[in-house]
Chain A
Amino acid sequence: METRDKLSAVSYTLFFNFLGKLAISLVNNLGAATIFFSKAFLMIFRSKQFPEIIHQVYNIGARSSNIVMLVGLFTGMVLGLQLHYTLVKFGSEGMLGSAISLSLIRELGPVLTAIMITARAGSSMAAEIGILRISEQIDALYTMRIDPVRYLVSPKIAASIISFPLLTAFFDLIGILGGYLTGVVLLGANAGTYFYRIQSSVDIVDIRGGFIKSFVFAIIVSTICCYQGYFTHMRSDSSGAKSVGLSTTSAVVHSCVMILIADYVVTSFLM
């Protein structure tokens, strides 16, 4: 009996030890990421940043637009099918336009756009900065008196803040057209009602809420991805090329999880 108690005490200690370490590491990383973001954000407004920001808007924004619009089209089409099926059951297929547009503008647009950009551009940000780190190119920037955060991170954060809302708007628009294709063209809902319902139900508050979300997601995704790449060399679980791979994976996974957590938090504030 006494041995069992001792074992139980040891396992409790180990569990709380693990939990404590995890909590400390989480708080440390959150603090470091916040400082990292603050420094990078302030440096956006330094001189000589504009050309690099434009270059990054092209990389993060323009080059992600195709995939974002494709996902937007099919999301809208699926919503058209599913919501038409559901609304017909209640005899309210006239609400199809409202349901699709509100779902997209308030929720699906910002979240799915952010996840798509994370997959396409976020992973590339982490890998690019990670490779620069392990090949001493970040140290080389420092020796040339070029602040690596200003040169590498700030333009990416600025470009994300510009690109996320724009791509979200594209996603919403193409999604609504996708819903029109399935709901109206394929399943025969009334086209006039579809657009009238969108116009009457979508308020500026909904659009603003969607943009606030995409702005928050832009900060989260760009900070996490750049942070993971920038501190690749500090990883305790690996080194070299492997650490770049793991940093890229961590960047994508952490970004996606944080997008969903932040989505809930922001939604609860906006409601």
Chain B
Amino acid sequence: MENTLIEFRDVTKCFGDHTVLDRINLKIYENQITTIMGKSGTGKSVLLKLIIGLLSPNAGTILFLGKPINKMKKRQWDRYRNQVSYLFQNNALFDSMTVFDNIALPLRQTTSMNRKKIEKKVMARIEQTELSEAANKYPSELSGGMQKRVALARALVTDPKIVLFDEPTTGQDPIRKNVILSTIAHYRKKFGFTAVLVSHDIPDVFFISDRIILLWERKVAFQGPYEESTKLDHPMAKEFLHSLEGFQDELTGLLSKQAFRARYAMTLNQRQTEETFTAVLFTVEFDLLTETLGPIAAAVVIKALGEYIHTNLGAIGGFSVRHHTGQILAILPYTDFREAQQLVKNLGKGLQKEALSNIQALTQAKIGDGACFQIYVYAGLIETSSNEDIDKIIEKAGATQKIIATHQCDAKGGGI
């Protein structure tokens, strides 16, 4: 059952004469990832700052587990604040401190833990965020992505119940954007916190979000699951969401969801209702890949898979979309089922030979002796007709999936 953690009731926030949020009502549920979206200046960051208490509302109430935070006693307020952590858009790391000191700061200043315990906890977070080599470096010596990970480690070191992420992927390339969002989703599961993030990275952000909150002209225009937001009949959906999504998926180069749906509808219009065609659902799964090669490896493999499918299936008139982080749906309108089966079989062989067999070169990572990881690529084919809904196609194709390519336990990069 969904448990309301934070609730905004008629909250208004003004800066001088300028009203940023006007009597907004929203709910954030426990153990979910809630993404706040909206145009620049619509009060997304203000909303996060209201939650953590950096700003106070001019009117209305913010409730935490049903208690108004402005009426909390000092001890209750401290306890609440102890459970909330904030990751700033520009990371807000202390330039004069090393990575270790930055992460240790909240523990040193707000807890009574001894030095050994702090060191142990900080080193654990440093290892989890793959910053071991940077522990004694200063933030200015790190790349933007690493700085973001330091900020993430600092935000998580106190084991918060709620983590607020203010545009965590700003300024990152498509692979790193995917990595950061996957890391947030991964950590959310691992540490069990509630995440509220401001992000515009469509489609990746939708893959990890349980709920979307859309801000439009000082109000909440929509709140709910992503699937519902796509059916939204609101000027914002056309003006804002579709413009963000663009034509192509930044990571894989495949069609965006909107473009895919448009192409699907257009293709179906040209065909007779009884004509059939083939749909293929590819899923890539990893085991120990992130642990062995780092978080970028997974994104690089998905990118390579997307490009490979795009090149090979595009040549015969097929078109594809990333349905989930590691899931690609391809429609082959001019290929019958038997042909498609042979095609996918050959594709699997090629994929194993070319794309997966050279993981080391793809990820540009050094693989240590004895390192072991597995990658499985599944494909499910179905014959479908033009009156079939995309969600139904995905469900049916998912049920028929079989392994078509693998890469197992080879430290030197060769597939077995």
Contact = CB atoms under 8 A, between A and B. Distances in A.
B92 A140 contact: yes
A39 to B, nearest CB: 15
A146 B94 contact: no
Nearest to B109: A146
B52 A136 contact: no
B105 A139 contact: no
Nearest to B82: A145
Interface in A112-150: 135-137, 139-140, 142-146
B231 to A, nearest CB: 36
B274 interface: no
B86 interface: yes
Contact of A135 (B52, B86, B90, B109): B90
Nearest to A142: B54
B376 interface: no
B32 interface: no
Given A137-B94, A143-B54, A151 B88 contact: no
Nearest to A51: B108
Interface string B131-169: 000000000000000000000001000100000000000
A48 B108 contact: yes
A144 B94 contact: no
A136 B54 CA distance: 11
A146 B92 contact: no
B9 to A, nearest CB: 23
Nearest to A140: B92
A145 B88 CA distance: 15
Contacts of A144: 85, 105-106, 109-110, 154, 158
Contact of B54 (A48, A135, A139): A139
A143 B52 contact: yes
A136 B92 contact: yes
B78 interface: yes
B81 A145 contact: yes
A231 to B, nearest CB: 16
Interface in A211-234: none
Contacts of A140: 86, 88, 92-94
Nearest to B154: A144
Interface in B329-367: none
Contacts of A137: 92-94
B92 A151 contact: no
A48 B93 CA distance: 21
Contacts of A142: 53-54
Interface residues on B, range: 20 to 34
Interface string B59-103: 000000000000000000010011011101010111000000000
Contacts of B158: 144
Nearest to A143: B86
Interface in A142-189: 142-146, 151
Contact of A151 (B54, B84, B93, B109): B109
A43 to B, nearest CB: 12
A131 to B, nearest CB: 8
Interface string A34-58: 0000000000000010000000000
A151 B94 CA distance: 13
Interface residues on A, range: 10 to 19
Contact of B78 (A136, A145, A151): A145
Interface in B34-55: 52-54
Contacts of B94: 137, 140
B105 A146 contact: yes
Contacts of B86: 140, 143
A176 B90 CA distance: 53
A146 to B, nearest CB: 5
Contacts of B110: 144-146
A48 B109 contact: yes
Given A143-B54, A145-B78, A136 B88 contact: yes
B107 to A, nearest CB: 9
Given A135-B90, A135-B92, A146 B54 contact: no
A253 B219 CA distance: 46
Contacts of A135: 90, 92
Contacts of B93: 137, 140
Contacts of B154: 144
Contacts of B92: 135-137, 139-140
A135 B105 CA distance: 17
Residue of A48, A139, A144, A145 with highest tally of chain B CB at under 10 A = A144
A228 B158 CA distance: 32
A136 B151 CA distance: 13
B396 to A, nearest CB: 47
A135 B91 CA distance: 9
A137 B94 CA distance: 7
A52 to B, nearest CB: 10
A78 B119 CA distance: 55
Nearest to A137: B92
Contacts of B105: 144, 146
Nearest to B89: A136
B325 to A, nearest CB: 29
Nearest to A138: B92
A48 B109 CA distance: 7
A126 B205 CA distance: 40
A48 B114 CA distance: 12
A145 B158 CA distance: 11
B82 to A, nearest CB: 6
A47 to B, nearest CB: 9
Contacts of B109: 48, 144-146, 151
16 contacts: A48-B109, A139-B88, A140-B88, A140-B92, A142-B53, A142-B54, A143-B52, A143-B85, A143-B86, A144-B106, A144-B154, A145-B81, A145-B82, A146-B105, A146-B110, A151-B109
Closest 3 CB pairs of A and B: A140-B92, A143-B86, A144-B106
Given A140-B86, A143-B52, A144-B106, 10 more contacts: A48-B108, A135-B92, A137-B92, A140-B88, A142-B54, A143-B84, A144-B85, A144-B154, A145-B78, A151-B109
